[in-house]
Structure formats: structure tokens, C-alpha cells
Structure 1
Amino acid sequence: MTGMFPDLKAMLEDLRTLVEIESPSTDAVAVARVMDVTERWARDLGAQTRALPGGTRLFHFGAAGSGAEDRPILVLTHADTVWPHGTLSAMPWRQEGERLYGPGTYDMKAGIVGLFHALRDLNTQSQGWPAGGVQVLISPDEEIGSPSSRGHIEAAAHGARAVLVVEPPVADTHNLKSGRKGTGSFTLRFDGVASHAGNKPEEGASAITAAAQAVLALQALARPELGTTVSVGIIRGGSAVNVIPAQCVLEVDLRVSTLAEGERVTAAVAALSPEDPRVTLTVEGGLNRPPFEQDEGTLGLLARAQAIAGELGFSVGHEVVGGGSDGNFTAPICPTLDGLGAPGDGAHAGHEHVRLDRWLDHVRLLARLLRDL
């Protein structure tokens, strides 16, 4: 490592550049502006850069290999955030002691910045790039389920020997993520028969009643002891208080630790049938991200990361978490380790921040891991 590595002042300058480009997932032009900055950084390091269909960018550092032993290391990042335009006015970039606040800092623009500083350091070492090089994939739509980037992510994973994800560590810890629940969602639409609630209630078929019965059936599908959670988060229905409601919609969140549980719940949701035959039910959705299940490949990467952290003077644990990432797509394909971004807390919340007193250690860890792999 070079004596000045990592340079916190330079990292903060780069992070501020990205954070002050607000990049909600719904604005492809704004997200592309973040990617344009990172592409300039990549070209400064001699990377080959490609724009893929749908807005994904792929950067390759070093020489591409031809054999199984010199396939590239793939690093996953995303340029989008959950924050709408104008958030900076209410959540401005600011530092309070060792905490650096701002929308997208923790999830995951600091992860992008730390990665590029690790790559810059790797480029200055006498060993140069690892055999097969390093590929960096930047998704434009991770926060909304990666609809346009999933295919590119899976294709890149098929050609990689290991995948590192620079999402942040577990909140307010050094812990890496060695597994993630699979995530899914369903939309259930109930169509009944409207009628006057006072004069002819018997002629109506209540969509809200059918939906209420379904809520209990849906939430009974949960198996917390297996890591399966089912939550009806949104209910919309009815037209007026004196009308038997003809429409109701449920929005349902699903989290599973195994693919078998995802298949069980999906089949059960598809089999739901309203008690009143005059009410029809339409179901859309399913499992969006497969579970990131622990395996020997991931645990091997974790053991190497833990050994490096020990040499650097700190320790990292690991956890399986409920939220999904693009690592869910790669874990069934290639050994994957997640949580290698910047420590902090407040993902998707008003107190989102990065811990500056821990960030440097994690950038050193990432640089060493890239070099040693």
C-alpha cells in the first residue's frame, strides 16, 4: 500500500461530487450523470468501458483472461438512490464529528468511491492488475429491483471467478453480508359487485371483505422460524362509504431464506380464491430476487476477508440480512461476498450517514482483497 492510502480528503471530494448529483431510480438521465463521472474515473485508470442496453455500464481493468484460472473479479455497484430530486435541500451534505450525512452516502455512493480509491491504489502496486483483471458493473436501477440490469449482472457473473458487492456493511457495524433473503412482491386485485349499502346490500359482493379474508390467509403463510415473512403493506379499496365496494387492491411483501420457501408461498398465493364466488381475484408478481444462500464459496471469500482485516488491525463478523441486493442474482452462479462498502447507518432513512472513522479500514480491506484474489 502507498503511504497516503487511502486519502480521506480526496475520498470526501469524490463522494461529495456523487452525492450532489441527485440520482433517483426513476430519472435515467440523472443516474447517467453519476455513471458519467465514474466512467471518467475508470478511463483515467486505463479501463475499457461499455454502455450496455438499459443503462448499465461495465468497466474492465487489466487484461482479459482466456482460461478458468484467470477469469475476472466482478465488483457490483449501483448509481441510483431511493431519494427524489430536492432531497438535498432537506438532507444536505454535512459532517458531524465522524459522521458524514447526505442522501445516498451510505447506500451506496461511498461504496463506489471507496472502490475507485482501492482500484487506484491497486493500479500503483508493482503487481498490477490481477490475472483476468477486475470488472466493475454499475447498475442504474438496483433500488427498484434491477429490471434492466439483471440480465447483464447474471451474464457477467457467469464469466467471473468471484463477485464482490460494495453495498454497505451491516448497519453500524463492521460486519459483512454472507447471505441475504430473497425478496418478492405481489399485487392482488379483487373485483366484486357494487350496490347501495342501505337499500340493497345483499345484491353487492364486497371486494374489501374478500381482501380482508385474504390478508389473514396471506400473513398465515409466514414461517418466521424458517426466515419467511409475508406482510400486507398497502390496502386500497372502495368508492364511497354508502357503496358495497366493488374493488380492492392489496400490495404484499415477501422475504424468504430459501428458494423452496419462495416457491411454496408463490404457489399458495396463486391458489387463493375468494369465499364469495361473485368476487374475482387477479394476482401479479412473485419472487423478484432469489435468496443469497450461504455456500462454501462465499464462506471462503469471507474467511479471506476476515484474515486480511485481522492483519490490518480490526475484525469483521458476518450476518445474513433481510434486504436484497444485486448479489442475490450472482450468489447462485459464482462465489459472492457482500457488504464491502462504507460503514454507517440509515439506508433509505433521514439519518443516512457514513462513519468516517471506519471507512478507511474498509477501503484498505477491499484493496487487499482485490489484490489477493
Structure 2
Amino acid sequence: MEVPGLLADIEAMVTCESPSEDRAAVARSAEVVAGIGHRLLGAWPDRIVLDGRTHLRWKFGDAPTRVLLLGHHDTVWPIGSLVSHPYENKGLILRGPGCFDMKAGVAQALHAVAGLPDRAGVTILITGDEELGSPTSRELIETEAAGCAGALVLEASADGGALKTSRKGVSLYRVRVVGRASHAGLEPEAGVNSTVELAHQVLAVRALADPALGTTVEPTRAKAGTTTNTVPAAGEFDVDVRVRTLAEQDRVDRAMRALSPVLPDARVEVEGGPNRPPLEESASAELFARAVKVAARLDLPSPARASVGGASDGNFTAGIGTPTLDGLGAVGGGAHADSEHVVVTELPHRVALVAGLTAELLAVDSPAGR
């Protein structure tokens, strides 16, 4: 792998803006990624368009997939971000919208597989809606990951280049409260105040958190009422839940669905639920140990491990029982922020690590390696 070529591919991806909500922009980005992959791999990907969102899949060999390399080419950055955050490479650091999360990782995946002497059993899946919670690609991801020896997720690394060996699961809820309107000055007693009911429910939801277990339950956006002189008839608030274990995700879900009104004649309705299962340490332990051995054999820096609160598509692969190692993408920082950047000198190390780990998994799982 030549670093200048890898850098040129990252630049081509970053300078093709691809905000998740803009289907046309994501389609343009998919064509850029497909073209780079075709040049490197000698094959065009399957273009899978679901609800207007473009996902790319390369499958090698006739046998079932044994190693899945997983990433996404959509970003959180709106069209026009290149004006205020232009792509730049100053030698040690490169910058640009989506470079760290995670277009550098996409380029690394393609270059890693391009360097394999035998790609049979490898699938590369690059989705186009991860930043939205993967509403159209989840089933595709789980189907491709089923039965694999390992899912290698090219999301950006944790601080200092650490691999992500666990991620919290995510649940998302909307709690609606229904009361009864009345004039706030003339007959407030005739109403059922949804703002007051909402306050009771916010406190009840917040109490479901368990800091000792790493469970966070955060009421976020909230609204209620219509005018300043009307007892509000309706209100709602959103809830973001992060958990380390399935048991905690289930506990919080049961409690959310059991919420009941405090005020007479009020009603409480709960929508939503688990969005991504947790990626628990048990799902990544074996792959992380292999990564450490591969790094030593290739004379690469030994990777550290990290547990993070954010979720990725690796949560889905782990959730169906596929061994999963995340954070194999770029080293850098500032995901979703003005400071987003990639450490250039680490790029070839990560490509070599992913290639070495992929080759080892293929060899171990081949008939000759059993």
C-alpha cells in the first residue's frame, strides 16, 4: 500500500459531501467510493438502494462470508461544510468534514482488502445511513454478519488509537402526556396540566439511571402547552438511554413501558424502545487478543482497548452473536466537531493491522486451519 494513494482516496471521499439526510448526496458519495473500490479491488460493488439510501457491498469468493469489514460513507456534516471546514493535509494531520468519522476508515478498509493475497470469504459493506441509526441498513448488516468468524468495524478509534471493545447499547423513547385544557386564570381547576404531569414523568424517568452500572437515562428535548394563559392539554419529551448490558436495556425498557400518570385524568403514552443492543466485552475479547498478536507479529504498536458510550453498526453485529471488534479505523479525534482530524502517520499502521487480522481470521477459519 502506498500512502500517497491512500491519502488521495481519503481526499476524494471527504470532498464529496454526504450528509445522511440528503439521499442524492449520499448516492454521489457512493459512486465515489464504488469507483475507488473498483480501482483497488478490480470489482464493482453491489449497489443496494433502500428507501433511496445507497449502500455498497463487495463479496469475494463463492463460499459464505467469514470476515465482514463494516463501515459507512454518510456523515453528519451538511452540504457546504467544505467552505468553512475545507479538506487539508498538512503532513502530520489531515482535516475535513467526515474525515475521522469515518471516510478515512472506509478508505483503509478498501486498501486493506486490496493487499490480501486471497480475498475469498471477505465481504466489505459500506452503508449510507449509519448516522441516522441505520434505519434501512440494519437488516442488511445483520444478514451479512450472520455466521461470520468476525466483524471488523472500521469506525474511528477511541482516544490515542485504542480499539473499541465495548459500546453501550442505545434506546430512544418519546413520552407523551395528555391532560385537559382550560383557562389558566378563570378556571385552572377545570384543566389537567400536562406540564405538571410531564415534570413528574421526567423525574421518574431520570431516576431509572444507574451510574454504578454505567446506565444513563437522560430526558432531552421537551415541550408542552400552546399559550401562556392556557392550562396545557398536551406535552412530550424525548429520552436517550445508554446501557452496557442487555439486562440493563431490558430493565429500563420494562420500566419505561410501565410509566403511569400521577395527576387524576392524565394519560401517559410511551413510544420507541431499544435502538441498538450493547456491544459487550465478551463479543470482542477473542478478536482483540488476536489483534494484539497480529500487531506484535507485524511490529506495529500494540493496540489499547476502550469502552465508549457511543454506538455503531458494530452493536448490531455483536447483538446477533457475531464476534465484533470496533474502532479499527482512523486515529485522530473531533468526530462531529470543528476539530475533526486524522493522524496521517497512523494510517498505514491501521491498514496493515486490518489486513493482518483479516488474513488471520480467514486462515484460522479455513478447512486447512481447523
Q: What TM-score comes out, normalization by structure 1 length?
A: 0.91
Cross-structure match for 1:24: 19
Cross-structure match for 2:294: 308
> Residues 369, 315 of structure 1: CA spacing in aligned structure 2 closer, same or farther, 3 A cutoff?
same
Paired residue for 1:12, among 7, 12, 17? 7
Q: Give secondary structure in 1 for the equivalent of 2:70.
A: strand
Distance 2:344 2:44 in 1: 31
Q: Does 1:82 pair with 2:76?
A: yes
Paired residue for 1:49, among 45, 64, 76? 45
Runs of 4+ in 1 over 6 A off after TM superposition: none
Q: How much does 1:243 deviate?
A: 1.6
Q: Give secondary structure in 2 for the equivalent of 1:81.
A: coil
Q: How much does 1:13 deviate?
A: 1.2
Kindly provide the CA deviation profile for residues 276-324 of structure 1, in whole angstroms up to 9, marking residues without a partner as x: 13222221111100111122x6212111111222342412111121111
Distance 2:197 2:214 in 1: 28
Distance 2:270 2:224 in 1: 16
Q: How much does 1:198 deviate?
A: 1.5
Cross-structure match for 2:110: 116
Cross-structure match for 2:63: 65
Cross-structure match for 2:153: 165
Cross-structure match for 1:298: 284
Distance 1:231 1:257 in 2: 15
Kindly provide the CA deviation profile for residues 327-347 of structure 1, in whole angstroms up to 9, marking residues without a partner as x: 111113211111110011111
Q: Give secondary structure in 1 for the equivalent of 2:348.
A: helix
Distance 1:37 1:313 in 2: 30
Cross-structure match for 2:364: none
CA contact (8 A) 1:141 1:149 kept: yes
Equivalent residues in 2 for 1:121-132, closer than 5 Å: 121-122=115-116, 128-130=117-119, 132=120
Kindly provide the CA deviation profile for residues 152-179 of structure 1, in whole angstroms up to 9, marking residues without a partner as x: 11111114221100001103x1210111
Q: How much does 1:214 deviate?
A: 0.8
CA contact (8 A) 1:163 1:336 kept: yes
Paired residue for 1:135, among 113, 123, 134? 123
Identity %: 43
Paired residue for 2:166, among 179, 199, 204? 179
Q: Does 1:207 pair with 2:203?
A: no
Q: How much does 1:96 deviate?
A: 4.6
Distance 1:169 1:92 in 2: 22
Kindly provide the CA deviation profile for residues 25-70 of structure 1, in whole angstroms up to 9, marking residues without a partner as x: 1112211222222222333323363233513221113x2226xxxx
Distance 2:115 2:128 in 1: 26
> Residues 32, 159 of structure 1: CA spacing in aligned structure 2 closer, same or farther, 3 A cutoff?
farther
CA contact (8 A) 1:64 1:72 kept: no
Q: How much does 1:94 deviate?
A: 2.2
Indicate the RMSD between aligned Cα atoms, in angstroms.
1.6
Cross-structure match for 1:125: none
Cross-structure match for 2:270: 283
Q: Give secondary structure in 2 for the equivalent of 1:56.
A: strand
Letter in 2 for 1:103: P
Distance 2:204 2:151 in 1: 39
Q: How much does 1:97 deviate?
A: 5.5
Q: Give secondary structure in 2 for the equivalent of 1:306.
A: helix
Paired residue for 1:153, among 118, 130, 141? 141
Letter in 1 for 2:110: F
Letter in 1 for 2:79: H
Q: Does 1:247 pair with 2:247?
A: no
Q: Does 1:191 pair with 2:178?
A: yes
Unmatched 5+ residue regions in structure 2? 362-370
Distance 2:149 2:29 in 1: 27
Distance 2:141 2:295 in 1: 28
Q: Give secondary structure in 1 for the equivalent of 2:45.
A: strand
Letter in 1 for 2:200: Q
Kindly provide the CA deviation profile for residues 186-245 of structure 1, in whole angstroms up to 9, marking residues without a partner as x: 011112112221111111211111111111111100011112110011111221222211
CA contact (8 A) 1:192 1:204 kept: yes
> Which range is displaced more, 211-220 or 197-206?
197-206
Unmatched 5+ residue regions in structure 1? 123-127
Q: Give secondary structure in 2 for the equivalent of 1:52.
A: strand
Letter in 2 for 1:52: I
Cross-structure match for 2:85: 91
Letter in 1 for 2:105: G
Distance 1:217 1:189 in 2: 14
Distance 2:325 2:55 in 1: 21
Q: Give secondary structure in 2 for the equivalent of 1:65.
A: coil
